[in-house]
């Protein structure tokens, strides 16, 4: 009863956070649009105190565009993530490893009580995996070719069980949406940055600071400064939030995945092999790193605990994850009367 309650609580929390991200994304674009309108409005005030820019075209357009981006990101975010990783759908397995992968995914789907997700392979020698989608009915699980050749069947079950837990908890919905929205914010920031470097800042600054009379010109300047600061900080903030969201969910997915397989030591062994891989997963980009079972970028911050690691890291320290799983294995063996696990 407690496990089911925790599952429902986690799902409800993810639904709330998904809605919050959508609202914040639209509000961000609205601020950028209406902020620009405000600069132009106060900058258009003449000597008589009359404003010549009165219709907030930029704000209305930006808000509409944000709503469309949010909707398409929610619906099509998984396809973009898979495309960015160069994943290919596994429909006709050609090797023993690929056939085994399909069998394991089917087993874990049955164990989790979920529909069979689509399975993808990323042709990358570094072992890694991730899940994406908006929920169990649209879920996709992708693994690298390196994962298939590195892990044995039990270890592969552990990793797939971990990813299936993300699907069941609705983590994939939130984390996929964050990846898509973060990409859109970075793209907007980069585009407006090029606009300013190309002389757009002088154009807006001239309108805001030169033509505005007295207090109107000062207000335009303040809004312009806040506007620019927002554009600079937004990509950094959204990436940090994505990292924090991901790190808090990995421990839960490890524990739930171990319960699905009834073999926490297999997942512990898989994580140790993944951690010992020599190179990062080059096919996985920075914007989707938080989706993976292990940090694909090999950043040292993920080796630490503490406040800064929680802010800047996408994953908990692998040593801590492995230790917790081995503790689960010890308790499991003790309950079964087999004595301490080796």
Rounded Cα gap, residues 235 and 160, in angstroms: 31
Q: Catalytic residue at 338?
A: no
Question: How far is 290 from 285, CA to CA, in rounded Å?
Answer: 10
Is-contact 133 139, C-beta < 8 A?
Answer: yes
Return d(Cα 246, Cα 106) in angstroms, integer: 25
Paired tokens of 316: 């908990």
Helix/strand/coil for 88? strand
| Joined tokens for residue 123 | 């042709």
- Name the token pair of 71: 């909707």
E strands present in the chain: 87-89, 118-122, 129-132, 140-144
The closest of 243, 250, 254 to 159, measured between CA atoms, is: 254
Q: Quick check: helix, strand or coil at residue 313?
A: coil
Length of the chain: 342
Rounded CA-CA distance 77/88 in Å is 16
Q: Alpha-carbon distance 182 to 77, whole Å?
A: 11
Cα(267)–Cα(83) distance, integer angstroms:
27
Which residue of the set 97, 98, 107, 163 is catalytic?
Answer: 163
Q: What span, in angstroms and rounded, lies between the C-alpha atoms of 69 and 58?
A: 16
- State how far Cα 332 lies from the chain centre: 33
Residues facing 143 on adjacent strands: 121, 129
Active-site amino acid positions: 163
């Amino acid at each position: 009863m407690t496990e089911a309650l925790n599952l429902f609580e986690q799902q409800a929390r993810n639904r709330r956070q998904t809605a919050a991200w959508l609202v914040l994304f639209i509000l961000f674009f609205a601020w950028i649009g209406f902020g620009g309108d405000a600069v132009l409005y106060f900058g258009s005030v003449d000597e008589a105190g009359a404003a010549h820019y009165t219709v907030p075209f930029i704000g209305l357009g930006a808000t509409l565009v944000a709503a469309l981006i949010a909707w398409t990101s929610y619906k099509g975010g998984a396809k973009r993530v898979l495309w960015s990783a160069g994943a290919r759908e596994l429909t006709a397995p050609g090797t023993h490893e690929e056939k085994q992968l399909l069998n394991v995914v089917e087993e874990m789907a049955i164990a989790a009580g979920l529909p069979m997700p689509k399975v993808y392979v990323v042709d990358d020698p570094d072992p890694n995996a991730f899940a994406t989608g908006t929920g169990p009915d649209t879920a996709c699980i992708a693994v690298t070719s390196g994962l298939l050749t590195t892990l044995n069947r039990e270890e592969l079950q552990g990793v797939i069980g971990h990813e299936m837990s993300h699907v069941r908890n609705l983590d994939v919905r939130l984390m996929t949406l964050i990846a898509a929205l973060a990409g859109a914010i970075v793209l907007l920031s980069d585009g407006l940055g090029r606009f300013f470097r190309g002389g757009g800042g002088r154009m807006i600054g001239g309108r805001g600071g030169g033509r505005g009379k007295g207090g109107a010109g000062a207000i335009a300047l303040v809004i312009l400064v806040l506007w620019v600061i927002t554009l600079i900080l937004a990509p950094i903030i959204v990436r940090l939030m994505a990292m924090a969201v991901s790190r808090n969910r990995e421990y839960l997915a490890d524990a739930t995945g171990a319960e699905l397989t009834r073999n926490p030591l297999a997942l512990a062994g898989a994580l140790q092999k993944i951690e010992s891989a020599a190179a990062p997963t080059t096919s996985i980009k920075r914007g989707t790193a938080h989706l993976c079972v292990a940090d694909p970028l090999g950043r040292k911050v993920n080796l630490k605990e503490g406040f800064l690691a929680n802010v800047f890291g996408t994953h908990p320290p692998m040593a801590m994850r492995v230790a917790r799983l081995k503790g689960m294995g010890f308790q499991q063996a003790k309950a079964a009367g087999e004595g301490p696990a080796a």
